[in-house]
Amino acid sequence: MNFPIVYVRGYAGSTGSINSAVDDPFYGFNIGATHVRVGGDGEPHFYQFESPLLRLLIDSTDDGGPYRIFVHGGQEAYLDSRGRGTIDPKTIWIHRFYDDSASTFGRDPRKYQIEDAAADLLRLTDLIRLKTGAEKVHLVAHSMGGLICRSLIQRVIPELTGRSNRAADYIESLFTYATPHNGIEFTEGFRGLAALRDTLDIEGAAIFGRDRMWQYLTPRDKRDGGPPEGWEPHTMTDEEFPLHHVFCLVGTNAADYDAALGLSARVVGPQSDGLVQIDNAYVPDTPRAFVHRSHSGRYGVVNSEEGYQNLRRFLTGDFKVEVELCHVQLPGTPDDGIVWQLETQLSVRGVSVIVHEQSTAHYCPIQIERPAPGDSAESPVPLLITFLSSRERPVDVYGDPLPTLRQALRLRLLSVREKGGIFGFFDHLEQTADFEDTLVVDIAPGEGTTSPKAWATWNSQLAGAIRDYDATKGAPIPDSEPEIGRWRGEVPMPAVSHRLLGANAVLAITVTPR
C-alpha cells in the first residue's frame, strides 16, 4: 500500500533563516540541483535533477500512479475541510513546524523547541491518517528533521501512550537524509566550541549536543538526571521502532559544503558531509547507503538524484537485498601491521547515478578486521543492504520489460602498512587495489508462492559488454536456505582473490520480499 509521506526539514537556526524557510511553501523539499562533481578535473558538471518533490509527483508507484500534493491555501485548512477517508492516501505533506517561530506573520515568534515540533508532528500525522484513511505514514526527514521524528518515536508517543512500542502503530517507515543521529561533534582543536554551543545554546544549536539529545529522546519516566555513562544518542531499539523500517542516507562529501565559508567542514573534519560526521549519520543496525554528497547546498544530499533513488526504492521497493562477505581468511599475522580495507560501489540498471559508494578517498571504506581472540573466524562482513522494485524494471530497445532486476557491485580490496598510528608507504602504491572486480547480479522476482531466483557472474568472466549478457540462459544460483518467498545463495570469490581472502571466501546474497 502507498502510505502518505510527511516531509520534515532540517535546522534553520536564526530568525532570519527561519523566515526564509517559512517563505518556501514546501520547506525546501522542492529544491533540485544542476551541479554534480564528476571526472578528474574537479570542476562542477551540469546534471539536472528536478527535486525529490517533483519526482514523487511524476513517478508512478505500485498502483500505477504518482503521488499528489494538496495545499489550497493551507494544508491543515484543507485537511480540516475534508471528511474522514476522503483524501487519497498517496499524498505528500510538509510538517511546517517553524511557522510559529517566524517573525513574518505579525505576531511574536514562539521559541523553537524540538519537543514541540515532535508533538506537532504527531498531531499532523493523526489528522492525515484520519482524512486519508491510511493506517500509517512514511516520515522523510533531512538533518535535524530526523531528530524530530526520533523524538516523536522515542519520547512523545511513549509518553502519550504509556508504552514504548506504539510508534509502529502510527509510522510505517523513517527515511533520514544526513541526520546527526549521534549528534554533531567537533575535531580536537574545536572542542571548546562544542562546549560553548551546548552551554549557551546559540541559535538553539544545543539540540546537537549529547545532554540536550538525552532530554528530547528519552521519556520522562526514564529520564532521571543526565544521560547515564555510555549512553549514545543514536541508540534505538526494535521495541521502540522496527530498525529494518529505518533507512539512513549518509553523505561523504565535506569539500562541497559551503556553509559559513567552509568553517563548518573544518570544524567537524573531512570524514563528514561538511556538517555531520559520517559515523554519526546513521542509527546502528539499520539499512543505510553512502553517497558522495554534502549536507546541503548545490551539491546537497537531499536535492540529489542519488538521494531520491535510495528514497524511492526504500519506500516502494518490493525486495530487500543484503550482501555479506563470508569465510574470510586474511594473509599474514595479527602483528604484521597490515590494514585491510574494502571499497564498494553499487549500480542499478536503468539508474544514471551510483546509489551507494564506500571508498578510502571518501573516508568511509569497510574495515576488514581479523577476529579478536575468542571470536568466530566465520563472522560475516556486512557489505550493504539495498532495495529493488520489480515495478521499475527497465525495458529493452523494443520497449519490452527486461526479465530481471540487475545490479552491479564493484569490490576493491586495498591494504596499507600501519605501525603506531602511522602509515608506512615504502612498499605501497596509493589507490592501487590488491584485488578488484565487479559482481553482476540478476534477480527474477517470484510470483505468488514462488521464491525469487538469482544469477551472478563476475565481470572479469564475461566475454563481452555487460549490456549483452543474458543471465537467464545459465543456471540460477542454488537456494542455500529453501524457504517460500525468500532466497539466499552464495557466490564464490574469484580465484585470483584466494591468496588475499582465502579459498573459501564467498559473497552471501539474501533476497527477501517486503
pTM for the full predicted model: 0.94
pLDDT at position 393, please?
74
Helix (H, G, I), strand (E, B) or coil at 462: coil
pLDDT at position 271, please?
94
Helix (H, G, I), strand (E, B) or coil at 405: strand
316 grid coordinates: 516502494
Which residues 6+ apart lie within 8 Å of 427 measured at CB?
Answer: 417
Please choose, from the candidates 353, 413, 351, 416, the residue with its C-alpha nearest in 3D space to the C-alpha of residue 383.
413
* Residues facing 347 on adjacent strands: 408
User: pLDDT averaged over consecutive 10-residue blocks of the chain (514 residues)?
Assistant: 93 92 94 78 82 92 81 94 96 96 89 95 98 98 98 97 94 98 90 86 91 96 88 96 98 81 78 96 98 93 96 92 95 87 95 95 93 67 93 77 92 87 72 93 78 91 91 92 82 96 95 86
pLDDT at position 38, please?
60
Whole-angstrom distance between the N-terminal and C-terminal Cα of the chain?
11
What's the rounded Cα separation, in Å, for the pair 57 and 48?
Answer: 17
pLDDT at position 39, please?
56
The label of the residue with cell 491555501 reads 73
The label of the residue with cell 564493484 reads 410
